Amino acid sequence: MKNQTTAVIVTYESAEVIGPCVESCLSLGLDVIVVDNASRDGTAEAAARAGARVIANPENRGFGAAVNQGIAASRRPFVLLLNPDAAVAAGIGVLIEACARPDVAAAAGRLLDENGRFQRGFSLRRLPTPAALICEVLGINRLWRGNPVNRRYRCLDLSEDEACDVEQPAGAFLLTRRDAWEAVGGFDERFFPIWFEDVDYCRRLRDKGLRIRFEPAATARHLGGHSAGKLEWGSREVYWYASLLKYACKHFPRNRTALVCLAVAGGSLPRLLAGIPHRGALRSIRTYGKVIRLACRCLCSGGGLSGCFDRTIKDQAHIHVL
């Protein structure tokens, strides 16, 4: 069954980590496709030397578009989405076995940090509710990690050792069936350049009545935040908030979306002030000014999906994409 699986890895400035990632997949008998988003550090060449098939994009197409591109290049029935800073350790067969069930569309294993500890709060989450996103953007989840909303959102109540159905495992180590992927249209490329495309995918799978499994026997070592960490701080902030707003517009009723917009705008003000000593007044004001403008435009559009996507994409066009 392993030779029926393609690992799709999207890279950006990942030369220092892509070799072990590709080698871990090849050692398990997986086909490997690396889609490189215009890296300038020799990532594409490093991936090719490690034995991957490489698609080198001349520009950064964004994570969602690159994943779709990679999956389209393989016709194998199972696809493993893997971050370049992850290395598969064990259990791919367990994930494939879970996904072979007709009502299961995807399966994920445990992501472990450098010390072998489960990356709790990141590996598994429930689909975000308006309350969860509001607590997130207002900083409540950071200040009071054990609050009931955050415990539910980050699955802090689940055991890392028990297999179970889950709502939204991280796309950093996620195996999915090709037919399920095609049934919902893959990743929504409007989540550009990154964030929330995997959340949106999991939600659309569940909306079709398909299950997603957590199989703890499957493991991968994961550094975390590698590609996103290559983005300039201001761009990274704006991209994250823009994708969050897009998700809210797409999946929440208008009145709940409005509350999320207000929370984004309100939560940006203390972040703006806190950023001045560390980032400088001009950078902090420019960055969070853009975030507040995105939230206000989304709010003024009435929380409608097309209006939010069109406005946030238009605003993002003025941000340098690394």
3-state secondary structure (DSSP) of residue 82: strand
- Residue given tokens 């472990």 in the structure block: 112
Q: Is the dihedral of CA 48, 52, 55, 57 positive or negative?
A: negative
Nearest-angstrom CA–CA distance, 90 and 190: 33
86 phi, psi to nearest 5 deg: -120, 150
Question: Contact, 95 vs 175, CB < 8 A?
Answer: yes
Cα–Cα distance, 288 to 241 (Å, whole number): 10
Is the whole model's pTM more than 0.85, yes or no? yes
- At a CB cut-off of 8 Å and minimum separation 6, what does 83 contact? 9, 10, 21, 171, 172, 173, 222, 226, 227
Dihedral sign of CA atoms 177, 190, 10, 107 in order: negative
In a structure prediction context, what are the per-residue pLDDT tens digits for the chain, which is 322 residues long?
A: 667 999 999 999 999 999 999 999 999 999 999 999 999 999 999 999 999 999 999 999 999 999 999 999 999 999 999 999 999 999 999 999 999 999 999 999 999 999 999 999 999 999 999 999 999 999 999 999 999 999 999 999 999 999 999 999 999 999 999 999 999 999 999 999 999 999 999 999 999 999 999 999 999 999 987 777 778 999 999 999 999 999 999 999 999 999 999 999 999 999 999 999 999 999 999 999 999 999 999 999 866 555 555 544 444 444 433 2
Which domains are assigned to the chain? 2-123+160-222 (3.90.550.10), 232-316 (no CATH)
Alpha-carbon distance of 178 to 105, in angstroms, equals 9
Phi, psi of 231 (to 5 degrees): -75, 145
H or E stretch at 54: strand 53-57
Three-state secondary structure along 153-222? HCCCCCCCCCCEECCEECCCEEEEEHHHHHHHCCCCCCCCCCCCHHHHHHHHHHHCCCEEEEEEEEEEEE
